[in-house]
Amino acid sequence: MASMKWTRFFLPTTKESPADAVVASHRLMIRAGLIRQVVAGAYTYLPLGHRVLRKIEAIVREEMNAAGAIELNMPAMHPIDWWEQTGRVAAMGDVLLRLAGRGEDWRSRTVLGPTHEEVITEIARAYLNSYKQLPINLYQIQTKFRGEARPKSGVLRTREFLMKDAYSFHAAKEGPGGLDETYQRMYEAYCAIFSRCGLPYIAVEADSGPIGGDASHEFMVPTDAGEDFLAATDDGSYAANLERAEVAPIADRADGTNAPLREVHTPGLSTIEDVSKFLRCQPRQMIKTIIYEAEGAPLAALVRGDHEVNEAKLARAAKVKSVTQAGPELIRKTTGAEVGFAGPVGLAARVIVDQAVAVLHDGVTGANKTDYHLTGVNPGRDFPTTQSADIRIAVEGDLARNGRPLTFRKCIEVGHVFKLGTKYSVAMGATFLDENGKAQPLIMGCYGIGLNRIMAAAIEACHDENGIRWPMSIAPYQVVICALDMRVEEVTSLADSLHDQLQAAGIDTLLDDRDARPGFKFHDADLIGFPIRVTVGKRGLSEGVVEIQSRRTGELRKVAPDAVVRTVQTLVQAEMMPAQPVGIPTG
Ligand code: ATP
Ligand code: MG
């Protein structure tokens, strides 16, 4: 077997970390010689980084195959026409990267795929014509391109990255062979993938647009380096991303006074802060009235002064596709007042009331008259609360729908499973003939995992002040042999032999054969984070021992040279994470 020696490998560790590297994974990946930036948002994976990525890829591929998905490969270049058919040229905006060409030449009609729904739906349209061919789940591991506005945090968010994306096709949503069944299998495959990669992950409910229900989950790794927030109960029975997190319904309007309605002069005071100061009331006593436009008509959303509207929840409650904040003109037309004085009393628009507003007593709100507010506003008495729902963004301490308080954590999204329904098949005319010979749109699911993000998230979750602590399953090498006295024949020949024996036992081993001081070698070994370090030195050999140290626990063992392979094998096996399938929580 070819021996892998440090001096013959390409492993440029460095002391420098770039000034813009704020998160640990970015800093450590550069210092450990795993990646090198080419331009903002695109990195070279140097040989060591490449090995990690290939190991993650192998785990992903194994679990996808085991779950019955079938691999194919689609190009990164797509015709823009297909993206126009699904309306996503507009929806994606600058995220969709287009080639620059003259006029209508082929370049101007070509995009670099940020995802592959259009390409796979065209394949389905061409080949999946009968219910007998369903269900089927096709996947690839392919480079994606996205014009991310601010690529940052190293490889956590880049403009070019590797994604495993799978797409399933079904004749029905429920029942054997239905979308729900494959969704469940993908959910479980994702749990197996992330646990095998050694990631501490949490599956959370994510916003799923109009389909609702359990139609989307994200897989999150809790870490401060993340840009997302998850909201979860302490017992883990409910977890959702912040946009999605539902707040428990409030049973009844509590008893309280019902003061008379009064108009007060609030000249030039149009913000919650100014008005609450001026009227000496708490923001939580105020009713914020935000005017939206939905399907061409004004729509007023009422939330407490200390709360924010959740537009996805609002759209769902109003049963519209989307809502957009109204401009000054529509606000003036709807309220008859300048911006900042809107209120629900006598408002000629559809009103959706957040459940926390519906139970208020003696609220304060705009009077629909410039420079005036109302006090003593009582929901039900002064404006209708017939359309009351959870339309606000959850805040920490809110009760989840199972009655337990929510706490928030920063996190990274590493994977996403989604019930698409018929959005793409309808847009692109991908139909199949059902048992009655009737043409129906294919029902679809899609499932994505970011491979580079797994790598960075693993580092965020597993590192210390000295460097990375790779999970055994995805470490670039499982073992480093530090040969301390390279000029002593007894040392080099034993180190060589241990390297060959470990390799032969199927354990990835790198031999640090550099003629350098022990401290220097140990420093690099800790920085790169090999899970096991085997140290062969003159002094140890004089006592007849070799040292074996675990990077994770720091535990040090001294064993005889002929016990090294056995001991290392046991350690490797103990640290390989088994796949742990987990069901979808229903809290
Ligand atoms: P984000 O919200 O972080 O931008 P997304 O929801 O747009 O991600 P998806 O379209 O769901 O991402 O893509 C599936 C997976 O691809 C994500 O779960 C993530 O792991 C990975 N991914 C997405 N965007 C990037 C990126 N810019 N760089 C690296 N990985 C990414
Ligand atoms: Mg996502």
Whose CA is closest to atom 18 on ligand 1?
A: 415
Query: Which residues are near ligand 2, the ion (C-beta closer than 5 Å)?
Result: 416
Whose CA is closest to atom 25 on ligand 1?
A: 157
pLDDT-derived band at 212, boundaries 50, 70, 90: low
Count other C-beta atoms under 10 Å from residue 548's C-beta. Answer: 20
Tell whether ligand 1 has an atom less than 6 A from the beta carbon of residue 163.
yes
Q: Which of 248, 245, 217 is nearest to 232 (CA)?
A: 245
pLDDT-derived band at 17, boundaries 50, 70, 90: confident
Tell whether ligand 1 has an atom less than 6 A from the beta carbon of residue 148.
yes
Tell whether ligand 1 has an atom less than 6 A from the beta carbon of residue 344.
no
pLDDT-derived band at 103, boundaries 50, 70, 90: confident
Nearest ligand for residue 193 CA: 1
Q: Where are the alpha helices (DSSP H) in 170-298?
A: 179-196, 272-278
User: In this predicted structure, what is the pLDDT of residue 258?
Assistant: 85
Arithmetic mean of pLDDT, 372-391: 95
User: Which ligand 1 atom sits closest to the C-alpha of 450?
Assistant: 20
User: In this predicted structure, what is the pLDDT of residue 250?
Assistant: 77
Structure tokens at 160: 């070019």
Arithmetic mean of pLDDT, 205-217: 77
User: In this predicted structure, what is the pLDDT of residue 377?
Assistant: 96
Tell whether ligand 1 has an atom less than 6 A from the beta carbon of residue 158.
yes
Tell whether ligand 1 has an atom less than 6 A from the beta carbon of residue 452.
yes
Q: pLDDT (tens digit, 9 = 90+) per residue, 403-454?
A: 999 999 999 999 999 999 999 999 999 999 999 999 999 999 999 999 999 9
Contact 76, 89 (CB under 8 A): no
pLDDT-derived band at 580, boundaries 50, 70, 90: low
Structure tokens at 384: 């209708």
Strands 431-433 and 439-441 turn out to be antiparallel
- pLDDT exceeds cutoff 90 at 110: yes
- pLDDT exceeds cutoff 80 at 586: no
Q: Where are the alpha helices (DSSP H) in 32-156?
A: 47-66, 80-85, 88-92, 117-127
User: Which ligand 1 atom sits closest to the C-alpha of 114?
Assistant: 10
Distance CA 571, CA 543 (A): 23
User: In this predicted structure, what is the pLDDT of residue 207?
Assistant: 83
- pLDDT exceeds cutoff 70 at 82: yes
239 C-alpha vs ligand 2 centroid, how far in Å?
16
pLDDT-derived band at 249, boundaries 50, 70, 90: confident
Q: pLDDT (tens digit, 9 = 90+) per residue, 320-378?
A: 988 999 999 999 999 999 999 999 999 999 999 999 999 999 999 999 999 999 999 99
Count other C-beta atoms under 10 Å from residue 170's C-beta. Answer: 25
For the CA atoms of 301, 302, 305, 308, what is the dihedral angle to 10 degrees?
-40
- pLDDT exceeds cutoff 60 at 587: no
pLDDT-derived band at 381, boundaries 50, 70, 90: very high
Among 80-94, 403-417, 473-487, 565-579, whose mean pLDDT is lowest?
565-579
**β-bridge partners, 161:** 144
- pLDDT exceeds cutoff 60 at 1: no
3-state SS track over 309-344: ECHHHHHHHHCCCCCEECCHHHHHHHHCCCCCCCCC
User: In this predicted structure, what is the pLDDT of residue 35?
Assistant: 97
Residue % of the chain over a pLDDT of 70: 97
Residue 442 DSSP one-character state: P
- pLDDT exceeds cutoff 80 at 380: yes
Tell whether ligand 1 has an atom less than 6 A from the beta carbon of residue 115.
yes
Q: pLDDT (tens digit, 9 = 90+) per residue, 138-190?
A: 999 999 999 999 888 899 999 999 999 999 999 999 999 999 999 999 999 99
Tell whether ligand 1 has an atom less than 6 A from the beta carbon of residue 114.
no
C-alpha distance across the termini of the chain, in Å: 53
Distance CA 326, CA 512 (A): 64
Question: Which residue is associated with the tokens 């999150």?
Answer: 220
Residue % of the chain over a pLDDT of 90: 89
Tell whether ligand 1 has an atom less than 6 A from the beta carbon of residue 307.
no
User: In this predicted structure, what is the pLDDT of residue 257?
Assistant: 80
Tell whether ligand 1 has an atom less than 6 A from the beta carbon of residue 414.
yes
Backbone angles phi, psi at 351, to 5 degrees: -120, 130
User: Which ligand 1 atom sits closest to the C-alpha of 219?
Assistant: 18
Distance CA 296, CA 202 (A): 39
Q: Which of 178, 224, 222 is nearest to 203 (CA)?
A: 222
586 C-alpha vs ligand 1 centroid, how far in Å?
25
User: In this predicted structure, what is the pLDDT of residue 582?
Assistant: 65
**β-bridge partners, 479:** 509, 532
- pLDDT exceeds cutoff 60 at 2: no
The C-alpha R_g of the chain, in whole angstroms, comes to: 29
Tell whether ligand 1 has an atom less than 6 A from the beta carbon of residue 531.
no
Tell whether ligand 1 has an atom less than 6 A from the beta carbon of residue 199.
no
Q: pLDDT (tens digit, 9 = 90+) per residue, 270-314?
A: 999 999 999 999 999 999 999 999 999 999 999 999 999 999 999
Whose CA is closest to atom 2 on ligand 1?
A: 413
Report the mean per-residue pLDDT for the chain. 94
Distance CA 232, CA 238 (A): 6
213 C-alpha vs ligand 2 centroid, how far in Å?
17
Distance CA 454, CA 81 (A): 33
- Hey, which of 416, 417, 446 would you mutate to test ligand 1's pocket, going by the most ligand atoms within 8 Å of its Cβ? 416
